[in-house]
Amino acid sequence: MSDKAILEYGGERFEFPVIKGTEDELAIDIKTLRASTGMVTIDPGYKNTGSCESAITFLNGEQGILRYRGYSIEDLAEKADFLEVAYLLIFGELPNKEQLEKFHSDIKEESQVDEEMKKILDAFPKSAHPMGVLSSMTSALVAFNPSCVDVASESAMYNSIVRILAKFPVLVAWTLRKKKGLPLDYGDDALGYVENVHKMMFKRPNKEYTKDQIAINALDKLLILHADHEQNCSTSTVRIVGSSHAGLFASLSAGISALWGPLHGGANQAVLEMLEAIEADGGDTKKYMAKAKDKDDPFRLMGFGHRVYKNFDPRAKIIKKSADEVLGNLGIEDPILDIAKGLEKEALEDKYFVDRKLYPNVDFYSGIIYRALGIPTEMFTVMFALGRLPGWIAQWREMRLRKEPIGRPRQVYIGEKHREFVPLEKR
Cα pseudo-dihedral 339, 341, 344, 349, rounded to 10:
-110
Tell which residue, 134, 175, 97, 191, has the closest CA to residue 375. 175
**DSSP secondary-structure letter at 261?**
S
Which of 69, 198, 221, 264 lies at the binding interface for ligand CMC (CB under 6 A)? 264
Helix (H) or strand (E) holding 5: strand 4-9
Please say if 363 is a catalytic residue. yes
Residue with smaller CB distance to ligand CMC, 236 or 361: 361
Please give the Cα distance from 397 to 347 (Å, whole number): 40
Q: How far is the CB of 26 from ligand CMC (least distance, A)?
A: 21
Please give the Cα distance from 130 to 377 (Å, whole number): 10
Q: Does 138 bind ligand CMC (CB under 6 A)?
A: no
Residues with Cβ within 8 Å of 67's Cβ and at least 6 positions away in sequence, in order, are 57, 58, 59, 73
Give the type of residue at 111: S
Q: Does 257 bind ligand CMC (CB under 6 A)?
A: no
* Part of the chain binding ligand CMC (CB under 6 A), chosen from 8-16, 83-91, 320-328, 355-363: 355-363
* Part of the chain binding ligand CMC (CB under 6 A), chosen from 89-97, 98-106, 300-308, 318-326: 300-308
Q: Does 306 bind ligand CMC (CB under 6 A)?
A: yes
* Part of the chain binding ligand CMC (CB under 6 A), chosen from 24-32, 52-60, 210-218, 359-367: 359-367
Q: Kindly write out the interface string for residues 274-293 of this chain, putting x where it contacts ligand CMC by CB under 6 A and - elsewhere.
A: ------------------x-
Which of 87, 304, 365, 380 lies at the binding interface for ligand CMC (CB under 6 A)? 304
Q: Does 178 bind ligand CMC (CB under 6 A)?
A: no
Which of 195, 228, 230, 363 lies at the binding interface for ligand CMC (CB under 6 A)? 363
Please give the Cα distance from 46 to 42 (Å, whole number): 9
Q: Does 300 bind ligand CMC (CB under 6 A)?
A: yes
Residue with smaller CB distance to ligand CMC, 81 or 228: 228
Residues between 20 and 49 with contacts to ligand CMC, criterion CB under 6 A: 45
Residue 264: count other Cβ atoms within 10 Å of its Cβ: 18
Which of 169, 255, 265, 367 lies at the binding interface for ligand CMC (CB under 6 A)? 265
Please work out the total of residues on this chain that contact ligand CMC, with binding judged by CB under 6 A.
21
* Part of the chain binding ligand CMC (CB under 6 A), chosen from 28-36, 50-58, 195-203, 357-365: 357-365
Residue 228 DSSP SS3: coil
Note the Cα 412 to chain centre separation in Å: 30
* Part of the chain binding ligand CMC (CB under 6 A), chosen from 164-172, 192-200, 361-369, 410-418: 361-369
Please give the Cα distance from 347 to 219 (Å, whole number): 28
Q: Does 307 bind ligand CMC (CB under 6 A)?
A: yes
**DSSP secondary-structure letter at 124?**
S
Residue 127: count other Cβ atoms within 10 Å of its Cβ: 7
Contact 366, 319 (CB under 8 A): yes
Tell which residue, 108, 97, 98, 69, has the closest CA to residue 85. 69
Please give the Cα distance from 149 to 164 (Å, whole number): 12
Which of 196, 253, 361, 395 lies at the binding interface for ligand CMC (CB under 6 A)? 361
Catalytic residues, by residue number, are 306, 363
Q: Which residues form the interface with ligand CMC (CB under 6 A)?
A: 45, 229, 232, 263-265, 267, 292, 300-307, 356, 358, 361-363
